[in-house]
Amino acid sequence: GIQVEQSPPDLILQEGANSTLRCNFSDSVNNLQWFHQNPWGQLINLFYIPSGTKQNGRLSATTVATERYSLLYISSSQTTDSGVYFCAADGGGSYIPTFGRGTSLIVHP
């Protein structure tokens, strides 16, 4: 099945800083999603983005399917952005989303 790798594993920011999270995948994808796991353990959908670029407020995401990666941009980070960010991809003949190990983000005030 498809392999998903995320980097960096951990990230610590000062409030107001910008950051870029990366997701690499091993095969052509049908679908790719970004999630935020908040400190209470809820998995919140951020983007459904098999290709192209989308923006939602301070967050944006870009997937370059031909080069097998996706990027999540967080601008002007806030303490409420803290948590773990996961990407999940399905492809390589399967429609079952496979998750990466996540990027743990801490934003200090």
Which residues of this protein are in contact with another protein, per CB under 8 A?
A: 30-31, 33, 35, 41-43, 45, 48, 86, 88, 90, 95-102
* In contact, 4 and 99? CB cutoff 8 Å: yes
User: Which residues lie closer than 8 Å to 20 by C-beta, 6 or more apart?
Assistant: 71, 72, 73, 74
DSSP letter, residue 48: E
State in angstroms the smallest separation of the CB of 86 from another protein.
Answer: 6
- Grouping H, G, I as helix, E, B as strand and the rest as coil, residue 87 is strand
What does the alpha-carbon distance between residue 1 and residue 42 come to, in Å, rounded to a whole number? 26
Q: For another protein, which is the closer residue by CB, 19 or 33?
A: 33
> What are the structure tokens assigned to 60, written together?
């944006």
State in angstroms the smallest separation of the CB of 18 from another protein.
Answer: 24
State in angstroms the smallest separation of the CB of 64 from another protein.
Answer: 20
State in angstroms the smallest separation of the CB of 23 from another protein.
Answer: 11
Q: For another protein, which is the closer residue by CB, 66 or 95?
A: 95
Q: For another protein, which is the closer residue by CB, 48 or 51?
A: 48
